[in-house]
Amino acid sequence: MPLTLAFTAQDMANIRFAVSPLGEVVASVRVVKDPAAHSALRPWAEQVRRRLADVDFRLLSDLVPVPTVSIAGFTCTPPSTSTPDLEVELATMRAAAGRVRADLDNVGGPRTERVQALYDDPDKGLERLAEEVGGYWEAAIAPYWPRIRSLLDGEILRRARVLAEGGADRMLADLDDGVTWEDGRLHVRNRYVSGVRSLRGLGLLLVPCVFAWPRVFSVTTPPYQPTVRYPPRGVATLWESRAADTPSALATVLGRTRARLLAELDQPASTQDLARRLELAEPGVSRHLTALRDAGLCTSHRTGRYVLYARTAVAETLLGHRT
């Protein structure tokens, strides 16, 4: 039986999205500890193994067991804003000392010596945990964050379009293979938790999370905001080095660089991400994207500090006529 989230009209009105750097850190520890179970993420795990050899993240690792049945809520509290940076989330973590013992009691099971020390002195333990998260982030996540952030922002942009075109029903209906939407209830596939949970009028926070793959994680325990963390589409492409298939006829008309840029926009992407993929200078990529936008072949959308570019229907048609 799946975990079922029951929506009221107020809950439907309070659906929102966010990204979570801290959530990516916590979820990625599962991958480091068991890369064989995460084939789409295994290339990343192999790349960061050496860099993590000199990083102390033993407490963080203890708090993320494998297999992952439950994780203490204070380790990655649902973000309160749509685009928090890591420091904001770490500040929230440090302020959660009053929740540490209750959350660890809810998780249950035996505790390592390090986790017991956290339980005995939450303030000191959270400072250590925050330091470990910072070191882990710099070694394992920060080098990949621009491309990860681009994928996450693209996912949210895509969902916003579906919401605008078909409403919340359509947006929730194809969230993930592990999630189904029916009669005002969201059913989340879960091997360890089942039953019906109320959203308490707080709505649902949807957090696309690269390192959640291939699972969907949920938060339903008060006092936390009800949250579903799900893998965005295109996770496996993050670690690929590929040459986009550029139609020769289109390259003749637009020029090879602009045609390649359009071909790369299978998912919304930023100037920085496109420049990295194509090994081009950012100013040149920006000029080409501006020209493509002026010609009606792509659109631009600002999400926080980033501008994402997406193909238009006209560009999709042009790319679809390949010979």
Contact of 209 with 184, CB cutoff 8 Å: no
In this structure, are 35 and 56 located in the same domain?
yes
- Per residue in 29-87, pLDDT (tens digit) is 999 999 999 999 999 999 999 889 999 999 999 999 999 888 999 999 999 899 899 99
Q: What is the mean pLDDT of residues 124-143?
A: 95
d(CA 16, CA 190): 22
In this structure, are 71 and 194 located in the same domain?
yes
Give CA torsion, residues 17, 21, 23, 28, to 10 deg: 130
Angstrom distances, CA of residue 118 to CA of 23, 25, 62, 74, 137: 20, 19, 11, 12, 21
Angstrom distances, CA of residue 258 to CA of 136, 237, 287: 38, 21, 10
In this structure, are 209 and 94 located in the same domain?
yes
In the block, residue with structure tokens 């910072």: 134
Instruction: Establish if 235 belongs to a structural domain.
Output: no
d(CA 137, CA 122): 22
Angstrom distances, CA of residue 26 to CA of 6, 57, 62, 73, 234: 27, 11, 11, 11, 20
Q: What percent of the chain has pLDDT over 70?
A: 96
- Read off the CATH number of the domain in which 311 is found: 1.10.10.10
Residue 13 has pLDDT above 60, yes or no: yes
The reported pLDDT for the residue numbered 1 is 62
pTM of the shown model: 0.79
d(CA 165, CA 179): 20
In this structure, are 11 and 145 located in the same domain?
yes
In this structure, are 209 and 281 located in the same domain?
no
Quick one: angle between helices 271-278 and 145-173, nearest 10?
A: 120
Task: Work out how many domains the chain is built from and give that number.
Answer: 2
The reported pLDDT for the residue numbered 63 is 97
- Per residue in 188-228, pLDDT (tens digit) is 988 888 899 999 999 999 999 999 999 999 999 999 999 99
Q: What is the mean pLDDT of residues 161-167?
A: 89
DSSP-assigned states of every residue in 175-188: S-TTEEEETTEEEE
pLDDT confidence band for 322 (50 / 70 / 90): very low
Instruction: Establish if 187 belongs to a structural domain.
Output: yes
d(CA 81, CA 138): 22
In this structure, are 212 and 259 located in the same domain?
no
In this structure, are 173 and 266 located in the same domain?
no
Q: What is the mean pLDDT of residues 302-307?
A: 70
pLDDT confidence band for 309 (50 / 70 / 90): confident
The reported pLDDT for the residue numbered 252 is 83
In this structure, are 277 and 152 located in the same domain?
no
Q: What is the mean pLDDT of residues 108-133?
A: 97
The range of the structural domain enclosing residue 72 comes to 3-230
Average pLDDT of every residue of the chain: 90
Contact of 306 with 270, CB cutoff 8 Å: yes
In this structure, are 266 and 199 located in the same domain?
no
Q: 230, 254, 288 — which closes off a domain?
A: 230
295 vs 143, higher pLDDT: 295
The reported pLDDT for the residue numbered 88 is 95
d(CA 123, CA 143): 30
In this structure, are 116 and 163 located in the same domain?
yes
In this structure, are 116 and 261 located in the same domain?
no
Q: What is the mean pLDDT of residues 110-133?
A: 97
